[in-house]
Amino acid sequence: MISVQNLHKTFALTKQQRKELNTEAKTATAVSDLSFSCQPGRIYSLLGPNGAGKTTTLRMLATLIAPTSGQITINGINALEHPQEARKHIGFLTGSTGLYARLTPLEIIDYFADLYQVAAKDKAERKAYLFDLLNMNDFLHKRIGKLSTGMKQKVSICRTMIHDPSVVIFDEPTSGLDVITAENIIKLIRSCKDQSKTVIFSSHIMSEVDLLCDDLAIIHKGQLKFNDTMSAFRTNMMTNNLTEEFIRIVQMPTPLA
């Protein structure tokens, strides 16, 4: 389970960034006062246009960066106070995830299993299970640099799941992938749900969200514009289709505090 309370993140702007953004402000707010929770066995989707603050939010959940203020709890662990402990429960996959091109899939999976301190017996079992599931056995000993995009994506999935995380974070996982490769990710997200894992994923594509999610949050300029179940979103729609409704919500003025 993920619980987020009053999450806030500001970044200090460099001189160059201030010039580019044409601002005198010394900081920029990426995320402002976000609160939500993601339940096990449900898929929580973070939907928003580019630059909305989705990646920053997910990076904070994955303990990659620290929030300026607020609280994050992962499976009851305070992620800000005990990030190492929280990381053991998290699997993190992004659309832009790279792999070590000079290593083989087997070497990469072994490396990450060791970093997650997976016991030798569990490692062997997890590897056998995931290699069969993802049909990876034919290219385990080939260098990553020589693999197709689809094969690489399978390796990324395997790397994310090798320590059997109970919380899985996907940051625009299908970005840049063709439909067939993206299908692997869709299957993975569904399989995580079936295994009662807590799943959160970000996207800017409404159709993808519609296909997968149970709970939906719409984020724009770092602020939460909608946070409810997907069925509630559908029921309360004021436009003809999901995309139009998403645009309507994003363009809604933020109520004054």
Which of residues 97 and 223 has its CB atom nearest to other proteins in the complex? 97
Per CB under 8 A, 29 contacts other proteins = no
> Is there binding between residue 135 and other proteins (CB under 8 A)?
no
Closest CA to 225 of 9, 48, 3: 48
Q: Rule CB under 8 A: which of 105-124 touch other proteins?
A: 107, 111-112, 114-117
Which listed residue (87, 154, 193, 197) binds other proteins by CB under 8 A?
87
For residue 88, the minimal CB distance to other proteins (Å) is 5
Q: What is the 3-state composition of the chain as percent helix, strand, coil, each rounded to the nearest 5? A: 40, 25, 35
66 forms part of the interface with other proteins (CB under 8 A)? yes
State in angstroms the smallest separation of the CB of 65 from other proteins: 5
- Those residues whose C-beta lies under 8 Å from the C-beta of residue 121, and which sit 6 or more positions away, are none
The one segment of 87-95, 123-131, 189-197, 206-214 that binds other proteins by CB under 8 A: 87-95
How far is 120 from 204, CA to CA, in rounded Å? 39
161 exposure class (CB count in 10 Å sphere: 0-12, 13-18, 19+): buried
Instruction: Indicate which single residue of 103, 106, 237, 242 sits in contact with other proteins (rule: CB under 8 A).
Output: 103
- What's the min distance (Å) between Cβ of 246 and other proteins? 27
Residue 100 CB, shortest distance to other proteins, in Å, is 6
Closest distance of CB 236 from other proteins, Å: 36
The distance of closest approach from Cβ of residue 64 to other proteins in the complex, given in angstroms and rounded to an integer, is 5
181 scored as a contact of other proteins (CB under 8 A): no
Q: Is 189 helix (H, G, I), strand (E, B) or coil?
A: helix
R_g of the chain computed on alpha carbons: 19
Contacts of 58 (CB under 8 A, 6+ apart): 46, 92, 169, 171, 200, 202
| Cβ-based neighbours of 31, under 8 Å, separated by 6 or more | 7, 8, 9, 53, 56, 57, 60, 67, 222
Q: Which amino acid is at 195?
A: Q
Q: Is 21 in the site for other proteins (CB under 8 A)?
A: no
Q: Which residue ranges make up the site for other proteins (CB under 8 A)?
A: 11-12, 59, 62-66, 84-85, 87-88, 90, 92, 94, 96-103, 107, 111-112, 114-117, 143, 159
